[in-house]
Amino acid sequence: MIQVDNLVKRYAGFTAIHGLTFSVQKGEIVGFLGPNGAGKSTTMRILSCFMPATSGTAIVAGFNTYDQSLEVRQRIGYMPENVPLYPEMRVHEYLHFRAALKGVPRSRRRGQVERVSEQCGITDVMRKIIGHLSKGYRQRVGLADALVHDPELIILDEPTIGLDPNQIRQVRGLIKDLGKSHTVLLSTHILPEVEMTCSRVIIINKGKIAASDTPENLKRLRMGGGETVVEVKADAKAVENEFRAIPDVSQVEASPSDGGFCKVAIHPKRDEDLRETVYQIVRQKGWGLRELTRRRQTLEDVFVQITTEDD
Ligand SMILES: Nc1ncnc2c1ncn2[C@@H]1O[C@H](COP(=O)(O)OP(=O)(O)O)[C@@H](O)[C@H]1O
Ligand SMILES: [Mg+2]
User: What integer best gives the mean pLDDT of the chain?
Assistant: 91
Boundary-marking domain end, from 221, 256, 274: 221
In one-letter notation, the amino acid at residue 174 is L
pTM of the model: 0.82
- Structural domain contains residue 28: yes
Give the atom of ligand 1 at the shortest distance from the alpha carbon of 38. Answer: 22
For atom 27 of ligand 1, which residue has the closest CA?
A: 37
- Structural domain contains residue 307: no
- Structural domain contains residue 152: yes
For atom 24 of ligand 1, which residue has the closest CA?
A: 37
Give the atom of ligand 1 at the shortest distance from the alpha carbon of 45. Answer: 17
| Bridge pairing between strands 29-33 and 153-157 | unpaired
Which pLDDT value is given to residue 196? 83
Q: How far, CA to CA in Å, does 194 sit from each of 2, 201, 203? A: 19, 8, 11
CA 143/CA 148 separation, integer angstroms: 9
CATH number of 255's domain: 3.30.70.60
CA 186/CA 146 separation, integer angstroms: 13
Q: Tell whether 153 and 258 lie within a shared domain.
A: no
- Structural domain contains residue 306: no
**pLDDT: is 123 or 296 the higher one?**
123
Please compute the mean of the pLDDT values over residues 163-176 and round it to a whole number. Answer: 85
Is pLDDT at 39 greater than 80 in this prediction? Answer: yes
Give pLDDT tens digits for 15-32.
999 999 999 999 999 999
Is pLDDT at 223 greater than 80 in this prediction? Answer: no
Is pLDDT at 133 greater than 80 in this prediction? Answer: yes
**Predicted confidence band at 221 (pLDDT cuts at 50, 70, 90)?**
low
- Side by side, which strands form the sheet with 200-205? 76-79, 153-157, 183-187, 29-33, 200-205, 208-213
For atom 7 of ligand 1, which residue has the closest CA?
A: 11
**Residue 286 belongs to what domain range?**
228-295
Give the atom of ligand 1 at the shortest distance from the alpha carbon of 39. Answer: 17
CA 158/CA 79 separation, integer angstroms: 9
Ligand having the closest approach to the CA of 35: 1
Is pLDDT at 271 greater than 80 in this prediction? Answer: no
Boundary-marking domain end, from 221, 254, 272: 221
CA of 131 to the centre of ligand 1 (A): 27
Q: Tell whether 112 and 259 lie within a shared domain.
A: no
Mention every residue, 6+ apart, whose C-beta is less than 8 A from residue 258. Answer: none
In 3-state terms, what secondary structure has residue 164?
A: coil
The answer to whether the Cα torsion of 203, 209, 214, 217 is positive or negative is negative
Beta strands in the chain (DSSP E): 2-11, 14-24, 29-33, 55-60, 63-64, 76-79, 153-157, 183-187, 200-205, 208-213, 228-233, 249-256, 261-268, 288-294
Pocket of ligand 1 (CB under 6 A): 11-12, 14, 16, 34, 36-42
